[in-house]
Amino acid sequence: MAVRKLAPENMQPESFVLSAETEAFAEKEIAKYPPGRQASAVIALLTKAQEQAGGWLPRKAIEAVAARLDMPVIRVMEVATFYTMFNLEPVGKYFIQFCGTTPCVLRGAGDIKKVLERRVGDQNHVTADGTFSWLEVECLGACSNAPMVQINDDYYEDLTTENFEKLLDDLAAGRPVKVGSQIGRNRSEPFEAVNTLQDPALYDGSVVGAWRKRFEEQAKAAETGETAAAMASVPQEAKAAKPTAGRPIESDVADTPAKRAKEGEKPVSTADQKEAADSSKATKVEPKEAGAQPPPQSGKSYVASPKKEGQAVPASPTTPSAGTPPAQAETRRDGSESKPGVVVDKDNKSS
């Protein structure tokens, strides 16, 4: 996409005032939104201002819309320069948007483009008489009738170089033209012969209404007892799923008066409550002696055995002493020493 910037200063009009029609339109659009949210009408107002200005948005029109909506000009400028439906430079009386996307190209859009280049010139160029200008755009959503162009607000489809040349001639001469398919097909019906959806069964209800037959068969089966037999095979006392079944459930964990009442227990007496609150009767935790080991947390003790004074911690047979480079180690280990019944002597002979 080309850089979208405002038209050069020499193309810009000196002023732009919203017409009475545009003003009435603005009032209607703004009324659609809550008070203070009038900025939501910015696209509608820019579209109307573009229409008033002859198909493009001069700087003054953007400023007029910003003032009408009480918006900073830069905010409106951002919208106008972002959306390609807003033309930032003058366009011809007939502004042609040519679809250059794959389906149209596969159906001959390249030839249509050559006609435009020959008759109108480059993109964004307005013919000397101000009649035509064109712009290549992405898919306009009429691919089944490709190739196509949009001229002002209308689509012209199923183009060939011949019918497109004629279309341009008629527009230039002010003659009436046919909107839509230029080869007479109705909307996007099959291009040549109708060769799909021709099976009469599609229209007599025998395919679409097949569900009816199924219900009839089921009703018949029920009459003959097949359904009853099938029902008999279904276990009547199905096991209920486990109540929790992996789902969190609510439980009364607190000892509350409501819970006690629910379970038929007596409420806690006032005397018991007082006794429980008496800190002098609370269980005392004896202070630990200095150096005492904490008790083991389970049946297995993982507490290290206390060392005798001066006793070195035996090195693990598989752990080399820290700081000893492997090259200076007394013996090198190859793993054989850990094999049962294999002894390695100094000459590296095993027995």
d(Cα 180, Cα 163) in Å, to the nearest integer?
12
- ∠ CA 188-192-196 to the nearest 5 degrees? 75
With CB under 6 A as the rule, give the number of residues binding ligand FES.
11
The helix/strand/coil state of 96 is strand
Which two three-digit tokens encode residue 338?
A: 């850990």
Residue 76 found at the interface with ligand FES (CB under 6 A):
no
Residue 140 found at the interface with ligand FES (CB under 6 A):
yes
As measured in angstroms, the least distance from the Cβ of 136 to ligand FES is 11
As measured in angstroms, the least distance from the Cβ of 138 to ligand FES is 8
Instruction: Pick the closer one to ligand FES by CB: 79 or 148.
Output: 148
As measured in angstroms, the least distance from the Cβ of 167 to ligand FES is 17
Which two three-digit tokens encode residue 180?
A: 């839509």
d(Cα 132, Cα 152) in Å, to the nearest integer?
11
d(Cα 176, Cα 170) in Å, to the nearest integer?
7
Stretch that binds ligand FES, among 97-105, 119-127, 195-203, 204-212 (CB under 6 A): 97-105
Amino acid at the residue 9: E
Answer for which of 146, 149, 151, 159 binds ligand FES (CB under 6 A) is: 146
Instruction: Pick the closer one to ligand FES by CB: 77 or 148.
Output: 148
d(Cα 267, Cα 254) in Å, to the nearest integer?
13
d(Cα 6, Cα 80) in Å, to the nearest integer?
9
Bridge partners for 154 per DSSP: 151
Answer for which of 46, 66, 142, 167 binds ligand FES (CB under 6 A) is: 142
Instruction: Report yes or no: 14 and 30 within 8 Å, Cβ to Cβ.
Output: no
Residue 148 found at the interface with ligand FES (CB under 6 A):
yes
Dihedral sign of CA atoms 97, 102, 108, 114 in order: positive
Stretch that binds ligand FES, among 137-145, 158-166, 296-304, 341-349 (CB under 6 A): 137-145
- In the stretch 102-121, what mask flags binding to ligand FES with x, by CB under 6 A? -xx-----------------
Answer for which of 7, 71, 139, 172 binds ligand FES (CB under 6 A) is: 139
Q: Which residues bind ligand FES (CB under 6 A)?
A: 99, 101, 103-104, 139-143, 146, 148
